[in-house]
Amino acid sequence: MQKENILDWSMEDLERLMEEWSESKFRSKQIIEWLYLKKAGAFALMTNLSKDLRAKLEARFVLRSLKIQDSRESKDGSVKFLFGLNDGNAVEGVYMPDENRRALCVSTQVGCKFHCAFCLTGKMGFIRNLSPAEILEQVLAVQEWLGPEKTLTNLVLMGMGEPLDNYDNVMKALRIFNSPAGFKFGGRKITLSTVGLLPALERFQKEDLKINLAISLNAVDDAARSRIMPANKKYPLKDLLKFCREYPLQPGRRITFEYVLVPGVNDTDEDAEKLSRLLRGIKCKVNLIPLNAGEGVPFSSMPQDRVDRFHKILVNSNISVFTRKSRGGDILAACGQLGGGWAA
Ligand code: SF4
């Protein structure tokens, strides 16, 4: 029988297994702590479990299914990782250090179905969903690579794939990221980004996870949005913004709207003015992301003066706005560039 990956099992799954094996339920919490808090890479290290239980776990499970196959460091300190999977596929992740923040951009699918025009992952097409273990192991692998002195502080689910299109596996991984017995990332430290799959968002808002929500908005009318994000044809702007307006935010929280500035598509003064009108009444902030032009992306880069102008119009309309520094452009690790290959 092929062994299962224990990281695919939730605390509740392990509780059921412990009952079946006539062990105390409490063992499941201890196992989860070994896996994620203490990051044990072998069952033999789980010394507060009996030898008999460790042997049973060893016979049934493996602990790893992903490894860092390659990495490239950018001049700005960010690092792109190529994670090799058991079936020969690979996904990418990006480590982005700042003064007090060490964030990892995590992938959730091999490829993607949504074909956003500014994104190289979309050009790959969809290959498969990642398992919960493969999502969790990206964080374990990078944390191990960083060593104990540098702990990851933030996770952003903005890597390859659309997280809400792999709903169950992503939710299972998020519960472990957020659990006090698991990785212990607070809800404010985790951000899930989506193109706006409304049925999945309706489900997501009922989850007891209090993580940050980012909407990849990128345009102010359906014609422009559908041109660069085909998902808009199914879930149009009006419905998406209605959802955002009614989204039950935690106190002090805001929705993030990601806005990739694409020259000639969504970057005029009128676009900025319309954006500020559309977002009126929604507790939100806007992340402006100047497009990273590159091979395979049919647009040119955004001139800085246009970015600054768009930014200023939003500020003058009392919209909270940040222009995101492009990270890792020299190693094809910037926004929209994952899946674009490995810079030498
Ligand atoms: S931006 Fe996200 S949803 Fe769109 S194609 Fe790329 S990975 Fe898929």
Name residues whose C-beta falls within 8 Å of residue 71's C-beta, 6 or more positions apart in sequence.
79, 80, 81, 82, 145
Q: Residue 249: CA atoms inside 13 Å, Cβ hemisphere, count?
A: 18
Residue that has been written with the tokens 């009392």 in this structure: 318
Which atom of ligand 1 approaches the CA of 122 most closely?
5
The answer to whether 285 and 320 are in contact (CB under 8 A) is: yes
Closest CA to 336 of 223, 229, 254, 190: 229
Which atom of ligand 1 approaches the CA of 229 most closely?
4
For residue 163, give both structure tokens: 């997280």
CA angle, 193 as apex, 188 and 196 as ends, to 5°?
130
pLDDT at 339: 73
**Secondary structure (DSSP) of 2-62:** PPEEGGG--HHHHHHHHHHTT--THHHHHHHIIIIIS--SSGGG-TTS-HHHHHHHHHHEE
Within 6 Å (CB) of ligand 1, which residues are found? 112, 114-116, 119, 121-122, 160-162, 195
Distance 128 CA to ligand 1 centre (A): 14
Which atom of ligand 1 approaches the CA of 195 most closely?
3
Longest CA–CA separation in the chain, Å? 69
Which atom of ligand 1 approaches the CA of 109 most closely?
7
pLDDT at 55: 97
For residue 130, give both structure tokens: 């990642």
Helix, strand, or coil (residue 315): helix
Distance 160 CA to ligand 1 centre (A): 7
Distance 203 CA to ligand 1 centre (A): 20
User: Which of 121, 192, 225 has the most ligand 1 atoms within 8 A of CB, as the residue to mutate?
Assistant: 121
In the chain, the amino acid numbered 298 is P
Nearest CA to ligand 1 atom 7: 161
pLDDT at 332: 66
**Secondary structure (DSSP) of 213-266:** EEEE---SSHHHHHHH-THHHHS-HHHHHHHHHH--PPTT--EEEEEEE-TTTS
Nearest CA to ligand 1 atom 3: 162
User: Which of 116, 217, 260, 289 has the most ligand 1 atoms within 8 A of CB, as the residue to mutate?
Assistant: 116
The answer to whether 127 and 89 are in contact (CB under 8 A) is: yes
Domain boundaries, the chain: 4-62, 67-331
Distance 334 CA to ligand 1 centre (A): 13
Distance 77 CA to ligand 1 centre (A): 24
CATH class of the domain comprising 4-62: mainly alpha
User: What is the CATH number that goes with domain 67-331?
Assistant: 3.20.20.70
Model-level pTM greater than 0.85? yes
Please list the active-site residues. 92, 335
pLDDT mean values, one per 10 residues, the chain (344 residues):
93 96 96 95 96 97 95 93 96 94 97 92 92 98 95 96 98 96 95 97 94 97 96 97 95 95 94 97 95 77 92 97 77 68 54
In this structure, the dihedral spanned by the alpha carbons of residues 50, 53, 58 and 63, taken in order and rounded to 10 degrees, is -80
* Distance, CA of 82 to CA of 94 (rounded, Å): 9
Closest CA to 152 of 120, 127, 184, 121: 184
pLDDT at 330: 67
